[in-house]
Amino acid sequence: MTSPVIVGVVVGYLLVLLLIGLWGNRDSHDLEGYYVAGKKLPAWVIAFSSNATGESAWLLLGLTGMGYAIGVHAFWIIMGEVLGVACAWVFVARPFKEYTDRYRAITVPDYLTERFRDESSIFRWLSALIILSMVMAYTAAQLTASGKAFDSFLGTGYTAGVWIGLAIVLFYTTVGGFKAVAYSDFLQGVLMLGCLITLPIVGIVQAGGWDPMMDALRAQDPALLQPMGTYGLTVAGVLSAAGSVAIGLAFLGSPQLLTRFMAARDQKQIVNGGFWAVLCVIGFDVGAVFGGMAGRTLSPGLADPETILPEMSAAFFPDFFTGIFLVVVLAAIMSTVDSLLILASSSVVRDVVQKALGVDASERALSNLGKGVTVVIGAVGLVVALLEVRMIFDFVLFAWSGIACAFTPVVLLSLFWKGTTKAGAVAGMVVGFATTVIWVRAFKADFYDLYEMIPGFFAGLLACWLVSLFTQADSEAVAELESIRETVGPTF
Amino acid sequence: MPADAWLLLIVSVGLGLGVELVYMRARRREGHMGRRGDTGRRGRSGDERTREDRHP
């Protein structure tokens, strides 16, 4: 029988989210308010919001599951994520913020269109296609996690769990826009950090202490304590490690993360926010991996490693904290789904309807359209989630890399290389995205299961660079890049 | 935990944290030298120059 305490904690949390949605509503009546919170966010909000968006249920269920399944080999993921977050804030954030402020851009396609002086709206159409397809997959994976979480913790059944998760996030995202998204992400990020600091500590104590835990892991499988895992120092092992590190590449250019930089109040927030973002991701990832490792000693025979967090919370915490853990899992899911929905909605309304098609409508009408589109996209994600139950970790990584490989190479080159051309950028987006999809469908299983981010990112980078070499950069754009560099100054 | 696992963990955390700390130190030094960086800008900044300036 489900504990009323757990239900009470969950209901209380969901009510807070609804209130945040209502609070955000007053600033969501034009496009800049709905999609980037009027560019008024402070450092601490963008730091936690960025990390909470980037991590999702993958962190709470997937990465703890990885810690459970492969132990120390999961440290390579920590390396990739911490380095990725740090490099994004240090190298990408300030020039990107400067560019998007000059352009009054509120989406990444806005930025690409202005950066390359595009009159044909090709970046808008291409971005919409990529974003919509990947957001559907990503959202479906998160809703799958919602179904699993509700079922594991409360026994609601998978379908009901999917419905409840979507209903709540759709309400506060539709009503409150990006302001509600960012502040709820902040709350969710704090909860996630608290959980991921507490979980491994309690797990290690329950396992009898650090040394007994390590001894138990070694007894189960010595590879759990080896950096190269069961692969050893082989080609497969090196590629597995490289694939794990490559997860961090997405932080450098994924549009759902870059939006936070656009929404910062000013450059100073970016300088201050980076430190907190790095500390936050360290806490997230180290906590998740060690939590999973502790769980391996306590519940060694789990059929699905991705249920280790609910298993541990039910076994070792009183009902109130079990409720908190369910809330944290939901927080992780919602903090990603809300950002994805806003991203996809902005792609349709701002990039396609307002800019590419040139529909002449008031800001209020467009923001209302944005809200409607948000609901439709969420509904499609729901249908996919209800039709197929996939392993969260793999599906999320595919969608994560699809978006990242389309945008990251092009964003990086556009910010740092004056030779980047419009044709090169288009080629980079198409090749990066296509390589990711083709690799997963046709090659991955036969090539050491190499994570698709690696071939996708480098193919996109190479395509953008090569095509740019044979085409002409706009002279005004080149001068503008130099002006941006002068304004932002050297990195170090 | 074996030494190589500890090394991997320390490097995993230290690389990114190190990059951020060096960056913050550079920003503080820039601030103390009074250079126009975060709080003042040499060129026309995003607040001053808009898309309309390029497309009158």
Nearest-Cα distance to chain A for B11, in Å, is: 7
Residue range A210-259, pLDDT digits in tens = 999 999 999 999 999 999 999 999 999 999 999 999 999 999 999 988 98
C-beta contacts of A309-318 below 8 A and 24+ residues apart: A309/A60, A309/A61, A309/A64, A309/A199, A310/A149, A310/A152, A310/A153, A311/A152, A312/A199, A312/A202, A312/A203, A313/A153, A313/A199, A314/A153, A316/A202, A316/A203, A316/A206, A317/A202
Whether B43 contacts chain A with CB within 8 A: yes
Distance between B5 CA and the closest CA of chain A, angstroms = 6
* Residue A123 to chain B, least CA–CA distance (Å): 18
Whole-Å CA distances, A439 to A128, A238, A355: 22, 18, 33
Contact B51, A102 (CB under 8 A): yes
Going by C-alpha positions, the residue among A367, A341, A339, A340 that lies closest to residue A353 is A367
pLDDT tens, chain A, 492 aa long: 567 888 888 889 888 888 888 888 888 788 888 888 888 888 888 888 888 888 777 888 889 999 999 999 999 999 999 999 999 999 999 999 999 999 999 899 999 999 999 999 999 999 999 998 888 888 888 888 888 888 877 788 889 988 988 888 888 888 888 888 888 888 888 888 888 999 999 999 999 999 999 999 999 999 999 999 999 999 999 999 999 999 999 999 999 889 889 888 888 888 888 999 999 999 999 999 999 999 999 999 898 898 898 888 888 888 888 888 888 888 888 888 888 888 888 888 888 898 889 998 888 888 888 889 889 988 988 888 888 665 555 677 788 889 999 999 999 999 999 999 999 999 999 999 999 999 988 999 999 889 999 999 999 999 999 999 999 999 999 999 999 999 998 888
pLDDT of B53 strictly over 80: no
The residue of chain A nearest to residue B46, with distances taken between CA atoms, is: A102
User: Closest partner residue to A82 among B16, B35, B49, by Cβ?
Assistant: B16
Domain covering A4-391 in this structure, CATH number: 1.20.1730.10
Query: Is the Cβ pair A282, B37 closer than 8 Å?
Result: no
B10 at A interface, C-beta within 8 A: no
Closest residue on chain A to B31 (Cα): A268
Task: Spell out which residues of chain A touch residue B51, defining contact as CB-CB under 8 Å.
Answer: 102-104, 114
- B44 in reach of chain A (CB within 8 A): yes
ipTM of the complex: 0.85
CA distances from A346 to A21, A55, A462, B16 (A): 18, 21, 29, 31
Tell me the domain boundaries of chain A.
4-391
